[in-house]
């Protein structure tokens, strides 16, 4: 993340207090005569924002302002959309139980399989897509099959997901399982987006057919539960005896680094981290050294050498 991005956690403080205003919570409870859990509400919002009809209808507005969330009057439809949203969230954070659940639903089990024409060559050299054969090559002999044009061209944030990832990891060994998972996640995301066309009929200005049979099918086959990340505990004026522990991504092949706040900068919210500490950033970035860490509320805003800033929940003050 960089620039003017905002991150709003679902929970705050170690007691998992929901991050909803009292007015919004009251609206949800009264609208459905039921107390839906925070994750259920988030699932509904998340999947609505992935609706192709919603995106097309409000395309111009979404470019200039926050999205307006439309709430169905049908409680079962809310539940069904919420479950699809929770499935999407599990897919997009690569939760293993969610992946297992969702990949079993794929219509083509061969999607994302890695294959070799010749020797087992793992190096990503020149990514190329063969549309007639639906193959995504990482070099002249190694490819992933079952990659439709729709999967290959899938974009998030203005970037082709697969193209961006492979080009960012050029000349590096390919993590076949990870790339295969990305391909399958995109495939299942597309399937869910197509399903949404049958579940949005009573939402204002959105097309779709209210399929009661489909709603019941979704309700009877819910995704595995998602356990929220433990919220950050941070005090604006840390004591000198407190310890800051920064855990790098496992693929960075670095040990966790700890420094006392007494060793940090004078500013209470700024910590300088050892220059050789590294982690993997989002959007397929390569491993980059951290230059500075800024703490704002519950967020850890990392400034990386040669990059913008990225927000992570990476550490806890003990």
Please say if the pLDDT value at position 213 is more than 50.
Answer: yes
Residue 2 lies in a domain: no
Domain containing 77: what range? 8-227+274-310
Residue 257 lies in a domain: no
Looking at residue 176, what is its pLDDT? 93
- N-term to C-term CA, the chain: 26
Q: Per mean pLDDT, which range of 7-11, 16-20, 24-28, 311-315 is the poorest?
A: 311-315
Confidence at 4, pLDDT banded by 50, 70, 90: low
Report the relative pairing of strands 114-116 and 128-130 from DSSP bridges: unpaired
Number of compact structural domains in the chain:
1
Residue 246 lies in a domain: no
Strands in the chain per DSSP E: 11-12, 17-18, 114-116, 128-130, 135-137, 142-145, 155-156, 159-160, 243-246, 257-260, 270-272, 278-280, 287-296, 299-304, 309-312, 315-317
Over residues 138-157, the mean pLDDT reads 95
Residue 3 lies in a domain: no
* 186 or 10, which is more confident: 186
Q: Per mean pLDDT, which range of 68-77, 102-111, 163-172, 267-276 is the poorest?
A: 267-276
């Amino acid at each position: 993340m960089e620039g003017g991005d905002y991150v709003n956690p679902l929970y705050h403080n170690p007691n998992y207090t929901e991050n909803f205003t009292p007015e919004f919570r009251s609206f949800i409870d009264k609208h459905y005569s039921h107390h839906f859990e925070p994750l259920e509400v988030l699932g509904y919002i998340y999947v609505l924002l992935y609706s192709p009809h919603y995106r097309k209808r409000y395309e111009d507005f979404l470019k200039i302002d926050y999205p307006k969330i439309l709430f169905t009057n049908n409680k079962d439809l809310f539940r069904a959309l919420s479950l699809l949203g929770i499935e999407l969230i599990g897919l997009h954070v690569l939760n293993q139980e969610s992946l297992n659940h969702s990949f079993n639903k794929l219509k083509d089990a061969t999607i994302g399989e890695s294959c070799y024409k010749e020797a087992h060559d793992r190096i990503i050299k020149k990514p190329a897509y063969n549309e007639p054969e639906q193959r995504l090559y990482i070099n002249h002999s190694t490819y992933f099959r079952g990659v439709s044009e729709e999967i290959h061209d899938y974009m998030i944030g203005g970037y082709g997901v697969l193209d961006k990832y492979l080009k960012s990891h050029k000349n590096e060994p390919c993590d076949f399982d990870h790339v295969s998972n990305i391909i399958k996640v995109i495939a299942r995301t597309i399937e869910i987006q197509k399903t949404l066309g049958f579940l949005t009929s009573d939402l204002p200005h959105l097309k779709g057919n209210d399929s009661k049979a489909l709603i019941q099918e979704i309700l009877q086959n819910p995704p595995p539960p998602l356990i929220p990340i433990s919220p950050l505990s941070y005090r604006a004026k840390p004591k000198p005896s407190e310890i800051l522990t920064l855990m790098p991504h496992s693929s960075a092949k670095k040990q966790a680094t700890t420094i006392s706040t007494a060793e940090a900068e004078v500013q209470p919210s700024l910590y300088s981290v050892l220059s050789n500490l590294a982690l993997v950033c989002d959007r397929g970035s390569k491993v980059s050294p951290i230059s500075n860490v800024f703490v704002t509320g519950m967020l850890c805003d990392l400034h990386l050498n040669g990059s913008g800033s990225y927000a992570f929940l990476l550490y806890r003050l003990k």
